Structure 1
Amino acid sequence: MGVLNLKFTLFASFLTLAVAVPQSISPYLVKEEILPPRGWVKSGKPALGHTITLRIGLPQPNFHVLESHLYEISDPDHERYGNHLTKEEVEDLVRPHPDSLDAVNEWLYSAGFAAEEINRSPAHDWVLLTIPVSKAEDILDTTYHVWTHTASGDSLIRSTRYSLPRHLHDHVELVQPTTMFGRTKRERSHIFAPFKAEDEDEDEDEDAAIFSTQTDTSLASGSIDPSCNTTITVSCLLQLYNATGYEALNKSNNSIGITGYLEEYANLQDLQSFYSEQRPDALNSSFNFVSIKDGLNSQNLSEAGEEAGLDVQFAFGISFPVPGTFWSTAGRPPFQTEEGYDENSNEPYQDWLDSLLGSKEIPLVISTSYGDDEQTVPKSYALRVCAGFAQLGARGVSLLFSSGDAGVGDGESDPAKQTCFTNDGTNQTRFRPAFPASCPYVTTVGGTENVNPEVAVSSFFSGGGFSDYFVRPAYQEAAVSTYLSKLPRGLYQGLYDQEGRAFPDVAAQGDRFRIWNKGRAGKIGGTSASSPTFAGFVALLNDARLKTNQPPLGFLNPFLYSKGRAGMNDILDGSNPGCGTPGFNVTTGWDPVTGLGTPDFGKLKEIVI
């Protein structure tokens, strides 16, 4: 649809709203109902006057067309490869039908909302209302309660069912926050060694040899400093992944971004300490900060986030001087029930998506080190958030997510201690895939450790498995089917969906990363290290393409599972225990622990240019 037609359609829609007489509201019918997820108990009513931002998702009738575009422009063998869509083209493809726009607006106007109280996404596929909980209860024919997670003490304001007028069921896909009980968490930033003060020189001699990003002439060609088995630095990663000596350009048409949630702040003093030690040519450089929903940018050293520090230091350290962006998105699911306390209780991925989808310019590579258990996210919501990621991919953005640190579910191989049960009331044992790691439109990164050989990480367990929500996409059918054909007959029968989207797609180092936090150096790990690491190398690959006037890589998976496989280091040892089982094994080719393997930048560069 051209711009002229788009303007006409919007004008016609608004004209209809201006003259329409609201229809009589049909009887309410239940739209969605769930059982309370395991571990959550009802603990009271919301504070008087507490407000929430209600999101009403309208259907995207042409999403299948956008998906078709996405796969064509991401397939290196297709004639349209790299011809990414514009913001306006993507919005046209996800715009709701005018009948849905009219029906929802008539409902809201009849409920007493004024036009200025109703906010909309750029494509008008989301309607946002910031309203008291009591008003949300009225229009959804529901009751909200405070629910408390018994293990952590976190609280949410949620409902286990909501209703809509019968005639709206075809015009509304979902309404949240209602049945969303996800607890967004880091994946997972373990502290493996105490952070030490700058004046403590313990282990400095061991580490100093691998701080420099320059080639060590004492090492044989292709060899890796053995100290990388105990401490991972930028230099180690450049050596291990065959990028030593590559020089990127500081070009405005290249970019990399890191998402920040849960009040994780990227501290500039820590970043400069990191650069001084590991990337001295980056000293005095910084990154672009973007606040979403009033996300803060505290530079108080005592509030520096380990996760944020890890992400920006390694993603930007690897990709320097590619311009970097850090988003701070306010809001988190836990909600404390003090009178007058107005914390945003909405799950934050969609807030971040709203901001990016409404932006003209978006970083070309984005890494996220946070996730939820898939089963705690209502399927309707997971599908819709995943569709938002597809929109970014169609615009040429590479999205990378950590696979999680708990193997196939809880990281527990002792059957007596496993906690992997379904949330459907039957309490059956079931592996617990992660979301957004399970979304087919993102690239999911598992964890490895050691060098010569590099193996699946063992100090925690690389998340991986098969989605219960998303079917396996065509791009990974051959690789995953080959893996499944090698499994013993009946292994883990009933514990996972063999037809589900499989993850991770790739892997990278995830253990013993030396970062700076709160003015100290220390070691940290998790697949939260693996994702920004892989993202840094994707930014370098985009640099190589842009130097030859080619478009950025965009959505990576169709490339990785085809031509890109020749540029991956296959990992051959390890497993990912969990849910009272040994988990899946690493094997030749793709596996649900390390995916297709780790990147060989030199080989991948030759393939992409």
Structure 2
Amino acid sequence: MRSLFKLVVLATCLFGSLPSEAIPSKDCAYRVKERISPPRGWVKHGDAPADRKISLKFALPQSKFGELEKHLYEVSDPDHERYGQHLSKEEVEELVAPHPESLDTVNDWLASLGFTEEDIVRSSAQDWITIKIPISMAEQILHAKYHVWKHVESGDYIVRTTSYSLPETLHEHIELVQPTTMFGRFKPEKSNIFKATPLPDFPAASKSEGVISAASGVTVDASCNQIITITCLQQLYNAVGFTPSAKGNSVGITGYLEQFANMQDLQSFFADQRPDALNSSFEVVSVAGGLNNQSLAEAGDEANLDVQFAFGISHPISPTFFTTAGRPPFIPDLDEPADDDENEPYTTWLDFMLSHPNPPLAISTSYGDDEQTVPFSFAQRACAGFAQLGARGVSLMFSSGDGGVGDGDPDPATQTCITNDGRNLTKFIPGFPASCPFVTSVGGTSHIPEVAVSTFFSGGGFSNFFPRPSYQDKDVKAYLAKLPKGLYAGLFNPNGRAIPDVSAQSDLFKVFIGGRAFLIGGTSASSPSFTGFVALLNDVRLKAGKSPLGFLNPFLYSKGFAGLNDITSGNNAGCGTPGFNASKGWDPGNASFSAVTGLGTPNFGILKKLVLDSH
């Protein structure tokens, strides 16, 4: 009876009113759930096509997320008795499942709108509900007005609203609805990558004697200051001669926006840098209809860079490339079919991975955007998804971004540092998802000896969304204490989650694209490279009968720092400032951290001993 009454109430809120004595007025009131100012750089182009369909996603509150977070930190803390005792998929889903009242309330509302169970797609944990509907219906049920918006600089178009509402009775049962206020641009040029340059345009590598890396003390061939290969990284990070052999290990790369990893190019790369891997390949997994175009003309620079170095370093660990159907640019002036193409593909991949029974144990993602282009509610919910994977034993690496402390534009002449909230304040611009505290953010270095990569390159700084996690307290507080008093006051959030956590080489990588060799760079090179070494560390643990590393950061900041090379020079300039400087460790007994390179670059020879010393 209660459920039937609730259904009548919700239906009345949408389509008419019953006598006031039958239903209290508050039950029928719509209230704004989220409202944003039109983001800087976007202008209204016109009304959204009414018959165009979107996949509207409703996030229900995850009733026991606090308990999940507690589990995550316990199983990720090398000093805790539960270290490495990761949760199963089913255990995680039980913790994030919505409260039955929330599920009933939202189900009743959808039923009042005429939706049947066949019309609804539910996540494995029941915490996301998706319906595919015309924009006209979305406008009706959300009391919203969708428009076509144009990004002035790029010319891209998307369909979004700047405000939506829900019946007041639903506010506590729905955390957010998307696509609505999400204006992020996960475009190839925003995937934290510098342009690819044909190799013949560069001078031939030097044949001089080896040089010594001051950070780790290992000998590295001098040619690595001109061209980075797998051999260079093995030398620099002290992994020469190590061959993984444990069963059950795996490594993954994410691909978006029709960036295809070409298998013929991979063979050229293996022939050049990893001949023992010739004729091996990787599994391609399509997410939501993602394509796998193997034409050399369609080979993606980002995708090829990622798979060639991550899989080349970790060979023969089982590799997977995820090709996720993207959000092709909306073209408002064409008579396109009324199909769905307006969702953010990143959460499509995340939903898929959370439902996957056996995700790869180490995954790298080289895509990101300015944190401020992502609604806080969306960022929180995506970050909670990363926590779920971490609790299951998955290590997630993300590029920290390019462009220093600015907006990702590597050109200082066009870089901006203006807030996107309508106030137009000058601020450093952190990146997302790198700012999520449940992932490992990877910054960039260059040259040998290593320095923080060149000006306007490696992203870093402090989140405006997420507070500093406890595992960073000691090190980041000490770093901030060494900054000149008042430096950049008001330009960054000193209490925010600091990024990056670690770094790796990120420039002059030799990659094969479309049958030709290129040199390429960006923190999208450092993330897959670091991930390759994480996969090797997982091999060490699995071979010893131990669990995979999972969420890395508590280990890195407590014990793992001893296996990281301290980077003491360089900076990440931007916003008309020198940005943050790399700095020498302030206490030999503690980790050193900088808002440019994090804790430093990997020394695999030491790390493989440290990961065995943990439970």
1:229-244 paired onto structure 2 within 5 Å: 229-244=225-240
Contact 1:207 1:231 in 2 (8 A): no
**Matching residue of 2:361:** 364
How far residue 228 of structure 1 moved from its aligned partner, in angstroms, is 0.2
- Provide the C-alpha distance between the structure 2 equivalents of 1:578 and 1:460, rounded to a whole number of angstroms: 6
How far residue 459 of structure 1 moved from its aligned partner, in angstroms, is 6.0
- Provide the C-alpha distance between the structure 1 equivalents of 2:397 and 2:37, rounded to a whole number of angstroms: 32
Aligned length: 579
1:44-55 paired onto structure 2 within 5 Å: 44-55=46-57
**Matching residue of 1:520:** 516
1:60-209 paired onto structure 2 within 5 Å: 60-185=62-187, 186-191=190-195, 193-195=197-199, 206=206
- Provide the C-alpha distance between the structure 2 equivalents of 1:412 and 1:584, rounded to a whole number of angstroms: 17
**Matching residue of 1:596:** 599
1:404-462 per-position Cα deviation (integer Å, ceiling 9, x unaligned) = 001111367999855111122211101111000000000000000011x1101116421
Label 1:236 to 1:460 Cα distance change in 2 as closer, same or farther (>3 A): farther
- Provide the C-alpha distance between the structure 2 equivalents of 1:438 and 1:365, rounded to a whole number of angstroms: 18
- Provide the C-alpha distance between the structure 2 equivalents of 1:142 and 1:195, rounded to a whole number of angstroms: 51
- Provide the C-alpha distance between the structure 2 equivalents of 1:297 and 1:478, rounded to a whole number of angstroms: 45
1:38-84 per-position Cα deviation (integer Å, ceiling 9, x unaligned) = 00000012234211110100111210000000000000000000000
> In the alignment, residue 600 of structure 2 is paired with which amino acid?
G
> In the alignment, residue 343 of structure 2 is paired with which amino acid?
N
Contact 1:389 1:442 in 2 (8 A): yes
1:376-400 per-position Cα deviation (integer Å, ceiling 9, x unaligned) = 1000000000000000000000000
> Is residue 260 of structure 1 aligned with residue 248 of structure 2?
no
One of 427, 430, 446 as aligned partner of 2:427: 430
Moved more, 159-168 or 403-412: 403-412
Contact 2:564 2:601 in 1 (8 A): yes
> In the alignment, residue 328 of structure 1 is paired with which amino acid?
T
> Is residue 354 of structure 1 aligned with residue 351 of structure 2?
yes
Moved more, 31-40 or 45-54: 45-54
- Provide the C-alpha distance between the structure 1 equivalents of 2:85 and 2:5, rounded to a whole number of angstroms: 41
> In the alignment, residue 296 of structure 1 is paired with which amino acid?
L
One of 315, 328, 335 as aligned partner of 2:310: 315
> In the alignment, residue 187 of structure 1 is paired with which amino acid?
S
**Matching residue of 2:291:** 296
- Provide the C-alpha distance between the structure 1 equivalents of 2:69 and 2:196, rounded to a whole number of angstroms: 41
1:184-230 per-position Cα deviation (integer Å, ceiling 9, x unaligned) = 1443322353255xxx9x866759999xxxxxxxxxx9310000000
1:447-462 paired onto structure 2 within 5 Å: 447-451=444-448, 453-458=449-454, 460-462=456-458
> In the alignment, residue 385 of structure 1 is paired with which amino acid?
A
Secondary structure at 2:220's aligned position in 1?
A: coil
**Matching residue of 1:504:** 500
How far residue 579 of structure 1 moved from its aligned partner, in angstroms, is 1.2
1:581-605 per-position Cα deviation (integer Å, ceiling 9, x unaligned) = 1101110220010000000000000
Label 1:222 to 1:416 Cα distance change in 2 as closer, same or farther (>3 A): closer
1:560-579 paired onto structure 2 within 5 Å: 560-579=556-575
1:296-336 per-position Cα deviation (integer Å, ceiling 9, x unaligned) = 00001100000000000000000000010000111227322
> Is residue 281 of structure 1 aligned with residue 283 of structure 2?
no
1:458-469 paired onto structure 2 within 5 Å: 458=454, 460-469=456-465
Structure 2: tracts of 5 or more residues without a match = 14-27, 211-216, 585-591
> In the alignment, residue 598 of structure 2 is paired with which amino acid?
G
Secondary structure at 1:444's aligned position in 2?
A: strand
> Is residue 396 of structure 1 aligned with residue 393 of structure 2?
yes
One of 314, 319, 324 as aligned partner of 1:324: 319
**Matching residue of 1:4:** none
1:110-165 per-position Cα deviation (integer Å, ceiling 9, x unaligned) = 11212210111011100001111111111101110000000000111000000000
- Provide the C-alpha distance between the structure 1 equivalents of 2:48 and 2:569, rounded to a whole number of angstroms: 50
> In the alignment, residue 255 of structure 2 is paired with which amino acid?
G
> Is residue 405 of structure 1 aligned with residue 402 of structure 2?
yes
Contact 2:404 2:410 in 1 (8 A): no
> In the alignment, residue 264 of structure 2 is paired with which amino acid?
Q
> In the alignment, residue 607 of structure 1 is paired with which amino acid?
L
1:529-551 per-position Cα deviation (integer Å, ceiling 9, x unaligned) = 00000000000000011110000
How much identity, in percent, do the aligned residues show? 61
One of 488, 495, 509 as aligned partner of 2:491: 495
Moved more, 455-464 or 313-322: 455-464
Contact 2:461 2:500 in 1 (8 A): yes
- Provide the C-alpha distance between the structure 2 equivalents of 1:308 and 1:540, rounded to a whole number of angstroms: 21
Contact 2:455 2:571 in 1 (8 A): no
Contact 2:209 2:222 in 1 (8 A): no
- Provide the C-alpha distance between the structure 2 equivalents of 1:310 and 1:554, rounded to a whole number of angstroms: 24
Contact 2:94 2:125 in 1 (8 A): yes
Contact 2:205 2:223 in 1 (8 A): no
- Provide the C-alpha distance between the structure 2 equivalents of 1:31 and 1:84, rounded to a whole number of angstroms: 36
Q: TM-score, normalised by structure 1?
A: 0.92
- Provide the C-alpha distance between the structure 1 equivalents of 2:258 and 2:411, rounded to a whole number of angstroms: 34
Contact 2:56 2:179 in 1 (8 A): yes
How far residue 350 of structure 1 moved from its aligned partner, in angstroms, is 1.0
> In the alignment, residue 9 of structure 2 is paired with which amino acid?
Q
Secondary structure at 1:553's aligned position in 2?
A: coil
**Matching residue of 2:611:** 608
Secondary structure at 2:34's aligned position in 1?
A: strand
Structure 1: tracts of 5 or more residues without a match = 1-14, 211-220
How far residue 23 of structure 1 moved from its aligned partner, in angstroms, is 3.1
Q: Aligned Cα RMSD in Å? A: 2.1
- Provide the C-alpha distance between the structure 2 equivalents of 1:23 and 1:477, rounded to a whole number of angstroms: 49
- Provide the C-alpha distance between the structure 2 equivalents of 1:243 and 1:282, rounded to a whole number of angstroms: 17
How far residue 375 of structure 1 moved from its aligned partner, in angstroms, is 0.5
- Provide the C-alpha distance between the structure 1 equivalents of 2:415 and 2:229, rounded to a whole number of angstroms: 35
- Provide the C-alpha distance between the structure 2 equivalents of 1:372 and 1:412, rounded to a whole number of angstroms: 11
- Provide the C-alpha distance between the structure 1 equivalents of 2:340 and 2:234, rounded to a whole number of angstroms: 42
- Provide the C-alpha distance between the structure 1 equivalents of 2:45 and 2:409, rounded to a whole number of angstroms: 29
> In the alignment, residue 436 of structure 1 is paired with which amino acid?
P
- Provide the C-alpha distance between the structure 2 equivalents of 1:515 and 1:460, rounded to a whole number of angstroms: 23
1:233-288 per-position Cα deviation (integer Å, ceiling 9, x unaligned) = 0000000000000011162x100000001110000000000001100000000111
- Provide the C-alpha distance between the structure 2 equivalents of 1:460 and 1:600, rounded to a whole number of angstroms: 26
Contact 2:456 2:574 in 1 (8 A): no
Moved more, 396-405 or 336-345: 336-345
Secondary structure at 2:441's aligned position in 1?
A: strand
Label 1:178 to 1:128 Cα distance change in 2 as closer, same or farther (>3 A): same
> In the alignment, residue 397 of structure 2 is paired with which amino acid?
L
How far residue 361 of structure 1 moved from its aligned partner, in angstroms, is 0.7
